[in-house]
Amino acid sequence: MSAEASWPGIIEAYRGFMPVGERTPIITLREGNTPLLAAPALQERIGLPIPLYLKCEGANPTGSFKDRGMTVAVSKALEERQQAVMCASTGNTAASAAAYAARAGIDCIVVLPIRYIAMGKLAQSVMHGAKVIAIEGNFDDAFRIVVEITSKYPVQLVNSINPHRIEGQKSGAFEICDRVGNAPAYHAIPVGNAGNITAYWKGYREYHEAGRSRRLPKVLGFQAERAAPIVRGEPVADPQTIATAIKIGNPASWKGAVAARDESGGLIETVTDEEILEAYKMLASIEGLFVEPASAACVAGVAKLVREGYFVRELQAGVPEDACVACILTGHGLKDPDCAIQAAQEPVSVEASAEAVVDLLRLKEPVSSRA
Give the binding site for ligand F0G (CB under 6 A): 64, 66, 89-93, 160, 190-197, 245-246, 292, 294-295, 330-331
Looking at the Cβ atoms of 46 and 243, the one nearer to ligand F0G is 243
CA 111 to CA 141: how far, in whole Å? 9
Beta strand pairing call for 52-56 and 84-88: unpaired
Kindly state the smallest distance separating residue 125's Cβ from ligand F0G, in Å: 11
Residue placing its CB nearer to ligand F0G in the complex, 62 or 182: 62
Q: Cα separation of 99 and 130, whole Å?
A: 8
CB closer to ligand F0G out of 78 and 298: 298
Shortest distance in whole angstroms from residue 251 CB to ligand F0G: 7
Is the Cβ–Cβ distance between 76 and 24 less than 8 Å? yes
CB of 170 to ligand F0G, least distance (A): 12
Return the number of the residue (9 or 58) whose C-beta is nearest ligand F0G: 58
Shortest Å distance, C-beta 367 to ligand F0G: 50
Specify the residue, 291 or 323, whose C-beta has the smaller distance to ligand F0G.
291
**Smallest separation (angstroms) from ligand F0G to the CB of 66:** 6
Print the SS3 string covering 205-244: HHHHHCCCCCCCCEEEEEEEHHHCHHHHCCCCCCCCCCCH
The rounded radius of gyration (Å) of the Cα atoms in the chain is 22
Residues in the chain: 371
Please, what is the minimum distance in Å from the beta carbon of residue 96 to ligand F0G?
8
CA-to-CA distance for 196 and 92, rounded, in angstroms? Answer: 13
**Pick 138 or 330: Cβ nearer ligand F0G:** 330
Q: Which is nearer to ligand F0G, 50 or 99 (CB)?
A: 99
Please state the closest distance from residue 239 (CB atom) to ligand F0G, in A.
12
